[in-house]
């Protein structure tokens, strides 16, 4: 009986979803996600964050690179515990070394005093989703993608029971317009949107570190669908000025272009494709049958006034009832 109980316990552990409880578990968690889609992770919510009024910070990482995800992060803690932010050493994550960011991230998920009062969440926005949003017919700009993510994460914190009182956001676009937009959505919160908020407000810096460390490790564990045997980072930081990234962007499949790691909507990627890749044309099945070209994705108006030579199309009931027939093609 004892053996059976142990086996069941082991099985429960094996099937339990992965969580992030420090730097060591961050990479394995990310590697389990589908990198062609977005994913959201919300940390355990400290009871203090439910019981007491909290401040919440919002920031992003990876907005500018030509490849990899853009990650939005939030962090929250009770107003009465803001000294914890100083104790952990939060500062603008861009001014810290990668090693220091990793160290702080690990401490905020392991130290008892941090875990009891500080929570966080991230959304990793896939480069595939960014490309599709910016290249679709009704374009969704990067600013709109960013704002949607920030609003979604704030709502995720609300749904998790966080008692939000104040919100601090590193701006996207004009801060006044962004602040008015957020105020209209969250009228009960005190909202501050500012440039370089990550270097002014420690809670935004905490969000920045959560976002930056998540993006760094997402690149480290990136799995190529197109290159399953590639196990090492051969693409660099993703910034166009990085020599390793430049070399990676020069390795183009002449038909399919780049793997999904690359943001096809970036001009850097587009120009590289124009120089080397084959020009491709794709016809819809309907276009092939009727031998009519589509304009802006729509069929020619004349198609509805003349029957195709290749198919015997039944005339509309309106014309049949009135014995009306075509006498000339338009």
Structure token digits, residue 88:
């952990």
- Between strands 190-194 and 70-78, the pairing is unpaired
From CA 150, how far away is CA 35, in angstroms rounded? 20
Q: 329 among the known binding-site residues? A: no
Distances (CA, A) of 78 to 12, 199, 256, 290: 34, 20, 50, 65
Beta bridge partners of 170: 194
Cα R_g (the chain), whole angstroms: 26
Whether 317 has a binding-site annotation, put simply, is no
Residue 148 among known ligand-binding residues: no
Residue 20 is classified by DSSP as -
Distance, CA of 156 to CA of 119 (rounded, Å): 12
Question: How many whole angstroms separate alpha carbon 54 and alpha carbon 119?
Answer: 10
Binding region: 59-60, 170
Binding region for a divalent metal cation: 59-60, 170
């Amino acid at each position: 009986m004892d053996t059976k109980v142990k086996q069941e316990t082991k099985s429960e552990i094996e099937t339990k979803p992965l969580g992030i409880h420090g730097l060591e578990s961050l990479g394995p968690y990310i590697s389990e996600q589908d990198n062609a889609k977005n994913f959201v992770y919300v940390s355990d919510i400290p009871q203090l964050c439910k019981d007491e009024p909290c401040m919440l910070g919002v920031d992003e990482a990876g907005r500018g690179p030509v490849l990899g995800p853009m990650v939005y992060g939030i962090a929250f803690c009770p107003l009465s515990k803001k000294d914890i932010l100083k104790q952990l050493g939060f500062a603008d994550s861009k001014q810290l070394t990668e090693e220091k960011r990793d160290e702080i991230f690990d401490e905020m998920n392991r130290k008892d005093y941090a875990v009891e009062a500080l929570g966080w969440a991230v959304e990793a926005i896939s480069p595939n989703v960014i490309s599709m949003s910016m290249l679709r017919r009704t374009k969704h700009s990067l600013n709109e993608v960013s704002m949607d993510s920030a609003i979604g994460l704030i709502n995720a914190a609300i749904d998790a029971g966080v008692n939000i009182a104040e919100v601090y956001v590193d701006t996207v676009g004009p801060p006044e317009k962004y602040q008015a937009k957020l105020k209209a959505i969250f009228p009960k919160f005190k909202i501050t949107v500012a440039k370089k908020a990550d270097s002014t407000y420690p809670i935004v810096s905490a969000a920045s570190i959560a976002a930056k460390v998540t993006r760094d490790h997402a690149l480290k564990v990136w799995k190529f669908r197109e290159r399953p045997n590639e196990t090492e980072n051969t693409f660099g930081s993703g910034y166009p000025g990085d020599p390793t990234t430049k070399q990676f962007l020069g390795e183009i499949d002449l038909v399919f272009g780049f793997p999904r790691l690359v943001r096809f909507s970036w001009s850097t990627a587009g120009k590289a494709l124009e120089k080397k890749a084959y020009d491709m044309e794709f016809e819809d099945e309907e276009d092939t049958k009727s031998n009519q070209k589509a304009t802006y994705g729509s069929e020619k108006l004349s198609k509805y006034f003349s029957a195709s030579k290749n198919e015997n199309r039944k005339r509309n009931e309106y014309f049949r009832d009135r014995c009306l027939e075509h006498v000339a093609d338009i």
